[in-house]
Amino acid sequence: MRKITVVKCDSEKKLECSQEILKNFENHNWVYLKPPKDHTKIPKTSTLPKGEGIIISSGGSIGGPNLCFQSIQNLTNSALATGKWLENHGLNPKNCIILNSLPLHHISGFMPWWRHKIWKAKHYWISHSVMHEPVKLQEFSQSLTNKNRHPLITSLVPTQLSSLIDNPYGLKWLQSLAIIWVGGASIPTDLADKARSKSINLAPCYGATETVAMVTCLSPKDFLKGSNSVGFPLEDVEIEINKRNFLKIKTTRLAGLKLKNDKFESITDSNGWWEAGDIGQYISLDNRKALQILGRRDSAINSGGETIFPEDIEIKLLKIVLTNKIPIKDIFVLGVSDKKWGQRLVALIRFKGKENNKNQVISILTDLIKGWQPAKKPLKWYDCPELSRNINQKWEISKWQEWVALNTPMN
């Protein structure tokens, strides 16, 4: 009888966790990839989908987090599609060495491990501590390439890229990689430009838990030539963008079901299309339609008749913070109702350490953005020491909107 097994994904025991996952697959079980500090209650249901696979938390859908059921066949289809993409760009998947630093409970960390099994390629887990010691990271990778000339490939999120590129050893490591898939969030323009100036082979991509990781990808060649898109659909993927710029995806590896409020739901419409939580547009690249992500549907606001994407404002604010060495650890920008404008932006701030002059810090920051359009400037600033993302590294908009309603802004 099939059952749900919970595997706690310990960041320091990825090898042991992955072996436990395989044992459960052999026993035809569904495996819930439990993140650290997760309190999700998995229902004991007897009506499980056929087959076996993983159950993984997703934050990519409209309507909040849910649990996606992804079968082994879907995982394999995704690995094959990514392998085909590599072949089309001159690399033999079997000859690649995969370096994997991402969490096993994220689809972006699970899939590099699954790809190596399907491709029969070498795979190495990179610990959190090594990622924060670029000297060791560079030395380890160099030891691998000294033994053979196989290309190194990896997947990173923009924060990892930003941290590594400013370290001489981290930069050398980045430059040694044949492919660096970057997903999870948009790459800030200044970071993308810096990566180009250092000839780093970034391959920005777009995907979700519901699609078993990437569904579009930009080649390093096109990235280095200046494209800021996330490239073209992989061979097993179709995409559509409607008049409101809503993004829809069709592929054979879409999650068959999601579990929400203890009930199974289909994620697709009657024609097999899944409506993603992002807004996109087509841009022309070599006379073809490439995808560019504009922002999240559930975070976009209309302020004074202008559509504003808070993610863009966050990126720009964080760039100013970094450039001017302002003692702010994180910023979350979101929309709230406003009688005059319809909606206005507010910003939640997490300061670094025990900052004593918080109002002065905000005064400096607001002065630096005084030339911005009014609709793009936060109307209010909130001191929020507990500011953090959820287990999927996503901002929970409704949670922080409720927090704003109960708290007083800074003077």
d(CA 313, CA 92): 40
Shared domain check, 341 and 199: no
In a domain, 62, yes or no: no
Residue found by looking up tokens 């030339």 in the block: 371
pLDDT at 309: 83
Tell me the pLDDT tens digit for each residue of 40-97: 777 666 577 888 999 998 865 555 567 899 999 999 999 999 999 999 999 999 999 9
| Residue scoring higher pLDDT (356 or 316) | 316
Kindly list the distances between the CA atom of residue 337 and the CA atoms of 343, 397, 404, in Å, as whole numbers in the listed order.
Answer: 4, 14, 11
Domain shared by 286 and 314, yes or no: no
Query: Is residue 14 in some structural domain?
Result: no
The answer on pLDDT for 232 being more than 80 is yes
Domain assignment present for 4: no
Same domain, 342 and 311: yes
In this prediction, residue 389 has a pLDDT band, given cuts at 50, 70 and 90, of confident
Q: Is 186 in the same domain as 161?
A: yes
Regarding whether 248 and 324 lie in a shared domain, the answer is no
Residues near 325 by Cβ (< 8 Å), separated by ≥ 6?
Answer: none
Q: Are residues 277 and 321 in the same domain?
A: no
Are both 282 and 325 inside the same structural domain?
no
Same domain assignment for residues 202 and 86: yes
Give the DSSP per-residue string, 232-259: EE-TTEEEEE-TT-EEEEEETTS-SEEE
Q: Are residues 349 and 208 in the same domain?
A: no
CA distances from 350 to 99, 132, 187, 239 (A): 32, 22, 21, 37
CATH number at residue 322: 3.30.300.30
pLDDT at residue 265 in the model? 85
Same domain, 247 and 308: no
Residues 281 and 328 in one domain: no
What total of structural domains would you count in the chain?
2
> Can you tell me whether residue 326 is helix, strand or coil?
coil
Name the residue with higher pLDDT: 217 or 68: 217
> What mean pLDDT, rounded, does the chain reach?
90
CB atoms within 10 A of CB 340: 7
Task: Tell whether 291 and 336 lie within a shared domain.
Answer: no
pLDDT above 90 for 322: no
pLDDT at 411 over 80: no
Q: Which domain holds residue 113?
A: 72-254+272-295
